[in-house]
Chains A and B, each alone.
Chain A
Amino acid sequence: MGKVKKRWIALYVENEVGVLAKVSGLFSAKAYNLQSLTVGRTEHDDISRMTISVESDDITFEQIKKQLNRMVEVIKVVDLTDIPIHMKELLFAKIKQIGFEEKAEAYQIAQTFGIQVIDHDRDCVILESTLTERRNDELCVLLRRTFKHIDIVRGGSVAIEGVSTSCR
Chain B
Amino acid sequence: MDITGKKLIVKALTEEGVDTVFAYPGGMITDILDELTKAPNIHLVLARHEQALIHEAEGYARATGKTAVCLVTSGPGATNTITGIADAHYDSIPLLVITGQVAKALIGNDAFQEVDIVGMTRNITKYSVTVNDRKELGRRLKMGFHIARTGKPGPVLIDIPKDIQLKNGDPEYPKEVHIRGYKPNESVHIGQLKKGYKLLKSAKRPIIIAGGGVKISKANDLLTQFAKKMNIPVATTIMGKGAFPEDDPLYIGNCGMHGRYAANMAIGNCDVLFSIGTRFNDRITGDLNEFAPKAKIIHVDVDTASISRNVVVDVPVVSDATLALEKLVEWAEEMNTEKWLREIYAWENENPLGMRRDKGMTPQMIMEGINKTFEKAFITTDVGQHQMWATQYIKLTKDREMITSGGLGTMGFGFPAAVGAAIALKEENKDVVCITGDGGFQMNMQEMATAINEGRSNITVCIINNKYLGMVRQFQQVFYGKRYIATDLKTPEGACVPEGSYVPDFVKWAESYGAKGIRVTEEKDIEEALKKAKANKKTPTVIEFVVSSEEIVLPMVKGGTAMTEMILK
* Residues of A participating in the B interface, judged by any CB pair closer than 8 Å: 13-14, 17-18, 21-22, 25-26, 29, 59, 62-63, 66-67, 69-75
Measured between alpha carbons, how far is A75 from B183 in the docked complex, in Å?
A: 10
Q: Determine whether the beta carbon of B127 is less than 8 Å from that of A72.
A: yes
Q: Which listed segment binds A: B305-313, B498-506, B532-540?
A: B305-313
1/0 per residue, CB under 8 A from A, across B265-308: the answer is: 00000000000000000000000000000000000000111011
Stretch at the interface among B31-39, B117-125, B521-529: B117-125
- Cα distance A17–B104 when bound, in Å? 14
Q: Are A69 and B304 in contact (CB under 8 A)?
A: yes
In the complex, how many residues of chain B place their beta carbon closer than 8 angstroms to a beta carbon of chain A? 22
Query: Hey, which chain A residues are within 8 Å of B303, CB to CB?
Result: 70
A63 and B305 CA atoms in complex are apart in Å by 6
Q: Which of A29, A67, A75 sits near B181, CB closer than 8 Å?
A: A75
Question: Which residues on A sit within 8 Å (CB–CB) of B309?
Answer: 63
A25 B181 Cβ-Cβ under 8 A: no
| Alpha-carbon distance between A75 and B180 when the two chains are bound, in angstroms | 6
By the criterion CB–CB under 8 Å, are A21 and B181 in contact? no
> B480 near A: Cβ within 8 Å?
no
Given contacts A18-B118, A18-B122, A21-B119, contact A74 B181 (CB under 8 A): yes
B135 → A minimal CB distance (Å): 14
A59 touches B312 (CB 8 A): yes
Could you say which residues of chain A place their CB within 8 Å of the CB of B312?
Answer: 59
Asked whether B479 is an interface residue with its Cβ less than 8 Å from the other chain, the reply is no
Chain B neighbourhood of A73, CB < 8 A: 181
Top 3 A-B pairs, shortest CB-CB distance: A66-B305, A75-B181, A72-B127
Instruction: Give the distance in Å from the alpha carbon of A62 to the alpha carbon of B309 in the complex.
Output: 9
In the complex, chain B residues whose CB is within 8 Å of the CB of A74: 181
Cα separation A10 to B179 with both chains bound (whole Å): 20
Which residues in A have their C-beta under 8 angstroms from that of B143? 72
Query: Out of A17, A29, A72, which one reaches B132, CB within 8 Å?
Result: A17
Q: For residue B129, which residue of chain A has the nearest CB?
A: A18
Name which of B129, B179, B305, B309 has the most chain A CB atoms within 10 A of its CB: B305
Q: Is the CB of A29 within 8 A of B123?
A: yes
Contacting residues, chain B, for A59 (C-beta < 8 A): 308, 312
B179 touches A72 (CB 8 A): yes
Q: How far apart sit A102 and B544, CA to CA, in the bound complex (Å)?
A: 84
* B97 interface contact, C-beta 8 A: no
Q: State in angstroms the CA–CA spacing of A25 and B119 once bound together.
A: 10
Q: Are A26 and B123 in contact (CB under 8 A)?
A: yes
B123 close to A25 (CB less than 8 A) = yes
CB contacts (< 8 Å) of B129 on chain A: these are 18
Residues of the A chain whose Cβ atoms lie less than 8 Å from the Cβ of B126: 72
Q: Provide 16 A-B residue pairs closer than 8 Å at the C-beta atoms, listed in order of the A residue.
A: A13-B181, A17-B132, A18-B118, A21-B122, A22-B123, A29-B123, A59-B308, A63-B305, A66-B307, A69-B304, A69-B305, A70-B304, A72-B127, A72-B147, A73-B181, A74-B181
Question: Quick one: given A59-B312, A72-B179, are A17 and B305 in contact (CB under 8 Å)?
Answer: no
Chain B residue numbers with a CB within 8 Å of A66 are 304-305, 307
Answer whether residue B182 sits at the interface, using C-beta atoms and an 8 A cutoff: yes
| Contact code string B167-195 (vs A, CB < 8 Å = 1, else 0) | 00000000000011110000000000000
Residues of B within 8 A of A62 (CB): 308
Chain A residues, CB < 8 A from B182: 72
Do A25 and B130 contact each other (CB < 8 Å), given the known contacts A67-B305, A70-B305? no
Which residues on the A side are within 8 Å of B179 (C-beta)? Answer: 72
Alpha-carbon gap, A25 to B116, bound state (A): 15
Q: Hey, which chain B residues are within 8 Å of A22, CB to CB?
A: 122-123
Contact B122 A25 (CB under 8 A): yes
Contacts of B304 in A (CB 8 A): 66, 69-70
List residues of chain A with CB within 8 A of the CB of B180. 75
- In the complex, chain B residues whose CB is within 8 Å of the CB of A67: 305
Which residues from B are CB-within-8-Å of A70?
303-305
Docked complex Cα distance between A21 and B122 (Å)? 9
Contacts of A69 in B (CB 8 A): 304-305
Give Cα A62 to B303, complex, Å: 14
Name the CB-closest residue of B to A30.
B123
Residues from 97 to 127 in B contacting A, C-beta threshold 8 Å: 118-119, 122-123, 126-127
A21 CA to B118 CA, complexed, in Å: 11
Q: Point out the residues of chain B lying under 8 angstroms from A25, CB to CB.
A: 122-123
Q: Determine the residue in chain B with the shortest Cβ distance to A22.
A: B122
Q: Can you name 7 extra interface pairs (CB under 8 A) apart from A63-B309, A73-B181?
A: A18-B130, A22-B122, A26-B123, A62-B308, A66-B304, A70-B303, A75-B180
CA distance A66 to B129 in the complex (A): 21
Q: Note all chain A residues with C-beta closer than 8 A to B307.
A: 66
Report how far A63 CA is from B313 CA in the complex, Å: 13
Give the docked Cα–Cα distance between A26 and B124 (Å). 11
- Contact at A14–B181, with CB atoms within 8 Å? yes
Question: How far, in angstroms, from A63 to B129 measured CA to CA in the complex?
Answer: 24
Chain B residue at minimum C-beta to C-beta distance from A29: B123
Query: Can you list, as one digit per residue, whether each of B552-566 has a CB less than 8 Å from chain A (1) or not (0)?
Result: 000000000000000
By beta carbon, the residue of chain B nearest A13 is B181
Q: How far is the CA of A69 from the CA of B151 in the complex (A)?
A: 14
B181–A71 touching, CB < 8 Å: yes
Q: How far is the CA of A72 from the CA of B127 in the complex (A)?
A: 7
CA separation between A63 and B303, bound complex, in Å? 11
Among A14, A21, A71, A72, the most chain B Cβ lie within 10 Å of the Cβ of: A72
Chain B residue contacts of A18, Cβ below 8 A: 118-119, 122, 129-130
For the complex, what is the distance from the CA of A73 to the CA of B128, rounded to whole Å? Answer: 10
Report the separation of the CA atoms of residues A21 and B129 in the bound assembly, to the nearest whole angstrom: 12
Q: Which residue of A lies closest to B147 (CB)?
A: A72
Whether A17 pairs with B130 at a CB distance below 8 angstroms is yes
CB under 8 Å from chain A, chain B span 307-346: 307-309, 312
Could you say which of B123, B181, B308 contacts A72, with CB atoms under 8 Å apart?
B181
B181 — which chain A residues lie within 8 A by C-beta? 13-14, 71-75
